[in-house]
Amino acid sequence: MVSRLIFPLDTGDLAEARRWVRRLSGLVGVFKVGLELFTAAGPAAVEMIREEGQAEVFLDLKLNDIPATVAGAVRAASRLGVDFLTVHMLAGRWAVREAARAAEGGLRILAVTILTSLSRADLMEVGYSPELSRDLSEAALRLASLAYRCGVHGVVCSAKELPRIREAFPHLLTVVPGVRPEWLEEELADDQKRIASPGEAIRAGADYLVVGRPIREARDPRAVAERILAEMAQAFEERYRGCNVPE
């Protein structure tokens, strides 16, 4: 189950990021390097995770540019030995397709559908049609369908939109951010709007969960991570009852 938990290293300090990797060793299977850390430390952030253990590296840059530029960035990530890399579906069909084609060495391309920080009003403000803004699951499904046709390995989406995507594209990897355990005692300062508990996300069809603030802001981060893993394991057992439960 450890391999299914992703922890974002949301810091601009490489030394602090290293402390988090060490602190959560054995409990997190994938460490996510986002824009803040990669802008501050560059490839050294990827190298640090490799040095510290066996966890996989998720480079979350949400590439959104012309096809040639996106393809070049994917090739560079492949040379770094990254395991996952995100490209934004709003880059369009050709850029996402080129991203999938450029991936080498086991790099898995994940297409970002609709950010979990966005609401219906936010989408309408940036030009989404009223029809799609009213039905976010339909909007996310359309983007996932295009991502599938472009040949990506998986998608990043909210748990709220996940069931329709999982039903339509069962072979796509699904990565779900915006995960908030219901049993948290502390109220988190948060910019996520479409959230779900770990169990809800797994039962909806998630393969991987991105959990940051609930662990990072906890008094005992390892204890919270262990409890999240237990909830994930139970949900996977319910989802795959009678079948093999993924590790």
- The CATH number that applies at residue 158 is 3.20.20.70
219 lies in a domain? Answer: yes
Q: Determine, yes or no, domain membership for 20.
A: yes
What residue numbers does the annotated binding site cover? 10, 32, 60-69, 116, 180, 192, 212-213
Q: What is the pLDDT of residue 195?
A: 79
Q: What percentage of the chain reaches a pLDDT higher than 90?
A: 75
pLDDT (tens digit per residue) in 105-145: 999 999 998 877 777 777 777 766 666 656 778 888 999 99
Q: Could you give the angle at the alpha carbon of 18 between the alpha carbons of 12 and 21, nearest 5°?
A: 115
Annotated binding-site ranges for substrate: 10, 32, 60-69, 116, 180, 192, 212-213
Residue 50 has pLDDT above 80, yes or no: yes
> Alpha carbon of 220 to those of 178, 200, 215, 227: distances in Å?
20, 23, 8, 11
Average pLDDT over residues 23-32: 97
Helix residue ranges, H only, the chain:
14-23, 35-41, 43-52, 67-80, 93-102, 120-125, 130-134, 136-150, 162-168, 198-204, 213-216, 221-239
| Token digits of residue 198 | 């770990």
In the predicted structure, residue 189 carries a pLDDT above the cut 50: no
Our count of domains for the chain comes to 1
Q: Residue 60 catalytic?
A: yes
Residues in a beta bridge with 58: 32, 84
Which residues form the domain of 124?
A: 2-239
CA distance 42 to 236: 35
Residue 236 reports pLDDT greater than 50: yes
125 in any annotated domain: yes
Separation CA 61–CA 9 (nearest Å): 13
Asked if the structure places residue 97 within a domain, the reply is yes
* Assigned domain for 153 exists: yes
CA distance 108 to 74: 10
Q: Would 244 be classed as within a structural domain?
A: no
CA distance 103 to 84: 10
Give the separation between CA 45 and CA 57, rounded to whole angstroms. Answer: 9
Residues 51-94: pLDDT tens digits?
998 899 999 999 999 999 999 999 999 999 999 999 999 899 99
Q: What pLDDT score does 115 carry?
A: 76
* pLDDT exceeds 50 at position 15: yes
Residue 110 and residue 86 in contact, taking contact as beta carbons nearer than 8 Å: yes
pLDDT-based confidence at residue 184 (cuts at 50, 70, 90):
confident
Helix %, strand %, coil % of the chain (to 5): 50, 15, 35
Q: Note whether residue 15 is domain-resident.
A: yes
Residue 122 a catalytic site member: no
The mean predicted confidence, pLDDT, of the chain is: 90
Given the residues 13, 65, 191, 207, select the one marked as catalytic.
65
Domain membership of residue 150 (yes or no) is yes
Could you report the per-residue pLDDT of 197-231, keeping only the tens digit for each? Answer: 999 999 999 999 999 999 999 999 999 999 999 99
How many alpha carbons lie under 13 Å from residue 49 in its C-beta half-sphere? Answer: 30
